[in-house]
């Protein structure tokens, strides 16, 4: 090896040893950090002054710069008091899997490139298909996240249910609580907004079955082709689960594809307590599931599962001449035949490592812990005279608001926005608002396994103090 490269490699390894200690310290004291560490004006000024240099720079200097100015100024989505959006639950085990995988950089596109990795991916996909209740023909693959999983599954739905000349009259049904990535995906695969029917949600934020049945009947009457329904297991706003078995029955009756966006909620299949609420997943045609949401993985770890893997092959298989020598065997189907990507990182390995070390039972307990904490929030808010629960604790999400009697709606909305801004700006906890049936509410997603009961109680205490200062 060239001696300059050898010398640089030594320096890289020394810095990485230092980095490992830095990471250990960071995770051990995570709870003491403010939940958002925003870059101040000086840092942004330093970063914006930088250019791509012509000449070399010392590695150590670039390393320190990145550590101080870039990595240190982010929202800490994995902080135990980060309750906004779907917070990260990433564990050091997943990080270790990431580091190991990235060091070897396997090209996880086909069997011949990395047969043991391919086996592991297939095993994980099979295990998840079993949890979902899919038959032998089921399958799927790892993708970057639920947005890609939704896009991939909806492509399969379109190709399985529609003839080319039916695409213009096709309609698909989502609920008012369906995640925006679904309509984005539909747009990408060629559907117009007017082809998406948004079905109202009931008082529990579940797709209203009567409205859905009426919409399908009306579309048939006017000559449209209803071809798919997108149900959610764990809506982003409230954690609600759509009426899966009823939706499945309607889909069967009208030959519609049933897709489930289980981005965060599908992980509840691992919980003994929650699994019964998700039983209808078994009737669906496809399922999106993110391990980077509730299975303690770093970002970029999602899965798309289908009831029949042949539907993915039908939509995505390609056999260009430059890949012929890599089409080896194994099952005869390569990962590039199952989705839009060719080059893929081995996303499955960090999840494999995590599950091997933790075991699936403990992962189920992570789900239960989150649901119990959301229930605790609900009980505590219920005790406060001027506060109301707007959406009950479901799959680790609960929505509530400060709403003293005799005040008007616009005042309440403004106060809850202010409480959210102030608690987040103070750095103690991150809690964002959302809107439910025209009310601005505070939303807490309590899925981080490091979150304790005292994190919850102290956050609620802070709400009360902030509301008292209004």
Pick 146 or 172: Cβ nearer ligand PLP: 146
Q: Which 70-89 positions form the footprint of ligand PLP (CB under 6 A)? A: 86
Stretches 107-115, 260-268, 375-383, 405-413: which one binds ligand PLP (CB under 6 A)? 260-268
Pick 110 or 442: Cβ nearer ligand PLP: 442
Binding-site residue total for ligand PLP (CB under 6 A)?
A: 13
Pick 146 or 363: Cβ nearer ligand PLP: 146
Three-state secondary structure along the chain?
Answer: CCHHHHHHHHHHHHHHHHHHHHHHHHHHCHHHCCCECCCCHHHHHHHHHCCCCCCCCCHHHHHHHHHHHHHCCCECCCCCCECCCCCCCCCHHHHHHHHHHHHHCCCCCCCCCCHHHHHHHHHHHHHHHHHHCCCCCCEEEEECCHHHHHHHHHHHHHHHHCCHHHHHHEEEEEECCCCHHHHHHHHHCCCCHHHEEEECECCCCCECHHHHHHHHHHHHHCCCEEEEEEEEECCCCCCCECCHHHHHHHHHHCCCEEEEECCCHHHHHHCCCCHHHHHHHHHCCEEEEEHHHHCCCCCCCEEEEECCHHHHHHHHCCCCHHHHHHCCCCCCCCHHHCCCCCCCCCCHHHHHHHHHHHCHHHHHHHHHHHHHHHHHHHHHHHCCCCEEEEEEEECCEEEEEECCCCCCHHHHHHHHHHHHHHHHHCCCCECEEEEECCEEEEEEECCCCCCCHHHHHHHHHHHHHHHHCC
Q: Which of 84, 94, 122, 147 binds ligand PLP (CB under 6 A)?
A: 147
Is residue 264 within the footprint of ligand PLP (CB under 6 A)?
A: yes
Q: Which of 120, 141, 263, 270 binds ligand PLP (CB under 6 A)?
A: 263
Is residue 186 within the footprint of ligand PLP (CB under 6 A)?
A: no
Q: Which of 109, 155, 236, 274 binds ligand PLP (CB under 6 A)?
A: 236
Q: For ligand PLP, what does the binding mask look like between residues 383 and 422, x meaning CB under 6 A?
A: ----------------------------------------
Q: Which 118-137 positions form the footprint of ligand PLP (CB under 6 A)? A: none
Q: For ligand PLP, what does the binding mask look like between residues 281 and 310, x meaning CB under 6 A?
A: ---------x-----------x--------
Is residue 146 within the footprint of ligand PLP (CB under 6 A)?
A: yes
Considering the complex, what minimum distance in angstroms separates the CB of residue 182 from ligand PLP? 7
Considering the complex, what minimum distance in angstroms separates the CB of residue 4 from ligand PLP? 41
Is residue 181 within the footprint of ligand PLP (CB under 6 A)?
A: yes
Stretches 61-69, 121-129, 141-149, 440-448: which one binds ligand PLP (CB under 6 A)? 141-149
Is residue 424 within the footprint of ligand PLP (CB under 6 A)?
A: no
Considering the complex, what minimum distance in angstroms separates the CB of residue 205 from ligand PLP? 12
Is residue 237 within the footprint of ligand PLP (CB under 6 A)?
A: no
Tell me which residues touch ligand PLP (CB under 6 A). 86, 145-147, 179, 181, 232, 236, 261, 263-264, 290, 302
């Amino acid at each position: 090896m060239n001696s300059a490269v050898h010398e640089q490699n030594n320096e890289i390894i020394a810095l990485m040893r230092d980095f490992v200690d830095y990471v250990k310290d960071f995770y051990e004291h995570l709870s003491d950090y403010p939940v958002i560490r925003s870059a101040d004006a000086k840092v942004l000024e330093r970063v914006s002054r930088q250019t791509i240099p012509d000449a070399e720079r010392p590695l150590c200097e670039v390393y320190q710069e990145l550590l101080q100015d870039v990595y240190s100024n982010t929202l800490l989505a994995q902080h135990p008091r980060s309750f906004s959006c779907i917070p990260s639950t990433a564990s050091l085990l997943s990080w270790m899997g990431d580091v190991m995988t990235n060091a070897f950089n396997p090209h996880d596109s086909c069997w011949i490139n990395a047969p043991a990795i391919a086996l592991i991916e297939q095993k994980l996909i099979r295990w998840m298909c079993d949890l979902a209740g899919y038959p032998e023909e089921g399958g799927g693959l790892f993708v970057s996240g639920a947005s890609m999983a939704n896009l991939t599954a909806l492509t399969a739905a379109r190709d399985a249910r529609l003839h080319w000349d039916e695409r213009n009259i096709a309609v698909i049904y989502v609920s008012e609580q369906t995640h925006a990535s679904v309509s984005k995906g539909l747009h990408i695969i060629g559907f117009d907004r007017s082809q998406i029917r948004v079905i109202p949600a009931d008082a529990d934020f579940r797709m209203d079955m009567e409205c859905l049945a009426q919409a399908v009947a009306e579309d048939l009457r006017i000559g449209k082709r209803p071809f798919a329904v997108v149900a959610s297991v764990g809506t982003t706003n409230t954690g609600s689960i759509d009426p899966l078995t009823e939706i499945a029955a309607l889909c069967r009756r009208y030959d519609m594809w049933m897709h489930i966006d289980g981005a965060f909620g599908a992980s509840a299949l691992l919980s003994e307590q929650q699994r019964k609420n998700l039983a209808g997943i078994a009737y669906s045609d496809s399922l999106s599931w993110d391990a980077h949401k509730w299975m303690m993985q770093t970002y970029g770890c999602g899965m798309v599962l289908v009831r029949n893997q042949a539907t993915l092959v039908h939509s995505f298989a390609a056999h260009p001449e430059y890949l012929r020598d890599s089409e080896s065997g194994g099952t005869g189907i390569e990962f590039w035949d199952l989705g839009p990507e060719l080059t893929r990182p081995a996303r499955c390995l960090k999840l494999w490592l995590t599950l091997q070390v933790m075991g699936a039972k403990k992962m189920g307990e992570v789900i239960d812990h989150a649901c119990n904490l959301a229930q605790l929030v609900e009980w505590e808010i219920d005790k406060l005279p001027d506060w109301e629960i707007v959406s009950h604790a479901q799959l680790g999400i609960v929505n509530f608001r400060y709403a003293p009697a005799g005040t008007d709606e616009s005042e309440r909305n403004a106060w809850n926005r202010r409480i959210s801004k102030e608690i987040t700006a103070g750095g103690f906890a991150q809690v964002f608002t959302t809107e439910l049936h025209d009310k601005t509410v505070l939303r807490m997603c309590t899925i981080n396994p490091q979150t304790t009961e005292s994190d919850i109680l102290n956050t609620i205490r802070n709400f009360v103090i902030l509301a008292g200062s209004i």
